[in-house]
Amino acid sequence: MTSRGPISYRQLGYVIVALAILVLTASALLVDRQPRTDDATVRANTIAFAPEVEGRLEHLYVQDNQPIHKGDLLFQIDPRPYEYALQQARAERATLEGQIEDERRRIAAERSAVGAATAGVSGSQSNISASEGAHLAAQAAVERARAAQISAEAQLRFAQNDYNRIEPLLKKHFVTVQQVDQTATSLHVAEEAAHAATSQLLQSQAQERMAFAAQQAANANLLASQSKLNEAEHTVDTLETLMAQRPSKDAKVLQAKLNLAWTSVRAPFNGFVTDMNISQGAYAHVGTPMFTLIDTSRWWVLASYRESKLKHIRPGSHVDVYLMDNPHRRFDGVVDSVGRGVFPEDGAVAAGLPQVDRTLNWVHLSARFPVRIRITNPDAEAFRIGATAITVVR
């Protein structure tokens, strides 16, 4: 029976090389299936905290790098100017309400004036109609009187001619005294009739002028009544104008309340104060940041992966996250999204056409794309914005 001798050094070397190849192959497959990178930084939402109103910083209740909770009072701006503005806005609104109430009382009195003015207009219109009728009647009377005067003057001329013809015949005894007396009497009657017709014409003309004056007065009364009616109706319209100012006065009061509320500023979320660059007593300006608030309720890591590894990274994939300052503590993460683009190094454009260099790189470097990883179990005390992280996709 024979026995084998000990393994030679050559054989042992072969074994070691084979094991090394297996380990390297397994590691390569593992790294390819579970890509990792240490090119990752911690991120969180931040806001540059700036006041909504300006004023003297009366109280500053926080310090740089101090943890804060939602609802904590951060700072207080001097509220006195905004209290005065609120009082003024309320006083202006109260003044407007007083004016509206006065107008309502005045309108209650003016409504009767509107009724009286309306009745006055109707009465004036009736008077105009009556005066126009009287004027027309007076004009007709004038025409009749003028016709009667013309007739009386014609009869007077006839009687005068008859008398002038008969009276000389009396001396020659061609006519009797009685005939002459009758002619004289007819002449006297004709003269009286002519005088009466003239008087009647003058009287009719005077009545016609009075009727015309009455018509003019009725027209003037109508204009006066219409003016009173318009004035009374305008007083009613004034209330609508005042009531239209209500929304602006209410808005001014609400804005003053809001500005006063903005003088006391509270934390909108749990977090940390950082980058404080103001002290108590300084003058705060609208929109000028005083410090930065870090929102500790949501943390994520932005990791840069080579493009060759992206095929194994999908939204929803779980990721092991380690922080550089505590590499032994593992945090769980979930891929939120994978970057869709980065700025290309050879993306220059000349004269509207792509510029391509006539060179050839023997070694091509893989581009890196950002992968956003949300931390599911963050520790606000352990995480800092900008901290280096190591991520391994599972």
What per-residue confidence (pLDDT) applies to 115?
58
What pLDDT was estimated at residue 250?
92
- Can you give the pLDDT at residue 387? 93
Alpha helical stretches, state H, the chain: 9-33, 80-166, 177-243, 246-261
* pLDDT score, position 348: 65
With contact defined as beta carbons under 8 Å apart, do 319 and 393 qualify?
yes
Query: CA 103, 105, 107: angle at the middle one, nearest 5?
Result: 65
Residue of 385, 389, 386 lying closest to 294 (CA atoms): 385
8 A C-beta contact, residue 374 and residue 298:
yes
Distance between CA 51 and CA 254 in Å, rounded? 18
Please report, in tens digits, the pLDDT of each residue of the chain (394 residues total). 444 545 666 666 766 777 777 766 655 555 556 788 989 999 999 999 899 999 999 999 999 999 999 999 999 999 999 999 999 999 999 998 898 888 777 777 766 655 555 665 566 666 666 666 666 776 777 777 777 778 777 777 777 777 777 777 767 766 676 776 777 777 677 777 777 777 777 777 777 777 777 777 777 776 776 676 666 656 656 677 888 888 999 999 999 999 999 999 999 999 999 999 888 999 999 989 999 999 998 999 999 998 888 888 889 999 999 999 888 899 999 999 998 888 776 666 666 677 666 665 666 677 889 999 999 998 888 999 999 999 999 8
- CB distance 331 to 378 below 8 Å: yes
> For residue 287, is it left (φ>0), alpha (ψ between -120 and 50) or beta?
left
Residue 70: closest CA among 220, 258, 267:
267
pTM passes above 0.85? no
User: Could you give the 3-state DSSP secondary structure of residue 308?
Assistant: helix
Quote the Cα angle for 118-124-126, to 5°.
105
CA 251 to chain centre: 11
Domains along the chain with CATH numbers: 35-77+271-393 (2.40.30.170), 83-249 (1.10.287.620)
Instruction: For residue 88, give the nearest of 253, 245, 243 by alpha carbon.
Output: 253
Residue of 74, 71, 93, 90 lying closest to 82 (CA atoms): 90
